Amino acid sequence: MQNAKVGIIGAGRIGQLHANNILRSSQIELKGICDINVTHLKGTNLEKYVPVITEDVSVLLNNAEIDAIFICSSTDTHCHYISQCAEAGKHIFCEKPISFSLEETEQALSKVKEAGVKLQIGFNRRFDTHFSKIHQLINDGKIGNTHMIKITSRDPEPPNEAYIKSSGGMFFDMTIHDFDMVRYLSNSEVKSVSVVASNLVDPVFEKYNDVDTAIITLTFEDGTLATIDNSRKAVYGYDQRIEVFGEDGVMLAENERKSNVKIATNEAVTIDHPKYFFLDRYKIAFEKEIEEFAQSILDNTSLSCTGEDGLQAQKLAIAAKKAWVEKRTVEMHEI
């Protein structure tokens, strides 16, 4: 059995997550990790099992054995590395969002196209058991034409201030996943975007011209309507639900719970909380997305989540930001 050989740029939280998943996979082999500073990897599993740990990106790019690079560095460096990887003829797995600038993203994508390498964007939720089942059932025609898509996406707790400052705002950092999901589930492109939003969770968001609670409303070319509701703080756990309503029925994906135990006492009947956050909820999805990426390289098949998908989600985030700032419905052709 052949393996896909890969390197990772960026060994922060998400980079380490992918690295450890790769170590457990039989389809994919981790040849090297690069970070601007690698001292935090001392004494970890990664140091023991990964042949190359480096602070020099060219060591990975010039390694002929390496088929593909995972870009897990900060968002503002993504496009730079995408271009470099493409030039080096490496396939690319890039974390979301691609960038904050449409120009940068478009340039990077054109480099990818020229080089003829594969580019997958890290929209891991497409690989969630429940959401991918919804996707499949829609395409199987189970509920006929889609009339309405409703996504509930609430984080258990707000990020810290440093993160808020550099995240690009809620629409870029958090809603971007939901923008991709709504596209993944619909068979039409978004026509217009409206937003109502508030600052209800913590004043720190207002400080950075950000919001913490929002309802984004979308209309699609084919008449489908959609809402995404977001909050930076859901005290009961990570709230990730989807409902799709169509001419022949409705489908819902409920939260995953920590356990299926129900307790009834005199005081209350309780069921367990939703899984706490994305590391628990999307554990399997993170594993599946890299398996598909590896498989696609080994079999030279097309990807189900491409740079184009990353670009479209980025455009929706830009439209939402604009709709919020200008307090009006933004048509997608404006972006």
Q: Contacts with its own copies in 220-239 (CB under 8 A)?
A: 223-225, 227, 229, 231, 233-237, 239
Find, among 117, 70, 114, the residue nearest to 91 by Cα: 117
Decide whether 36 or 271 has the Cβ nearer to its own copies. Answer: 271
283 binds its own copies (CB under 8 A): no
Distance, in Å, from the CA atom of 42 to the CA atom of 35, rounded to the nearest integer, reads: 13
Decide whether 207 or 262 has the Cβ nearer to its own copies. Answer: 262
String of b and e for 259-287 (b: at least 16 CB within 10 Å)? Answer: eeeeeeeeeeeeeeebbeebeebbeebbb
24 binds its own copies (CB under 8 A): yes
186 binds its own copies (CB under 8 A): no
- Hey, what amino acid is at 18? H
Q: What character string, x for contact with its own copies (CB under 8 A) and - otherwise, covers 114-153?
A: ---------------xx--xx--x----xx-x-xx-x---
Decide whether 120 or 230 has the Cβ nearer to its own copies. Answer: 230
* Interacting positions 193-212 with its own copies (CB under 8 A): 194, 196-201
302 binds its own copies (CB under 8 A): no
- Contact status, residue 241 vs residue 253, Cβ threshold 8 Å: yes
Cβ-count burial of 3 within 10 angstroms (0-12 exposed, 13-18 middle, 19+ buried)?
A: middle
Find, among 304, 317, 316, the residue nearest to 120 by Cα: 304
Find, among 43, 63, 236, the residue nearest to 8 by Cα: 63
Decide whether 16 or 73 has the Cβ nearer to its own copies. Answer: 16
Closest separation in Å from C-beta 187 to its own copies: 14
**Cβ atoms within 10 A of the Cβ of 300, count?**
7
51 binds its own copies (CB under 8 A): no
Q: What character string, x for contact with its own copies (CB under 8 A) and - otherwise, covers 153-182?
A: -x----------------------------
Decide whether 34 or 226 has the Cβ nearer to its own copies. Answer: 226
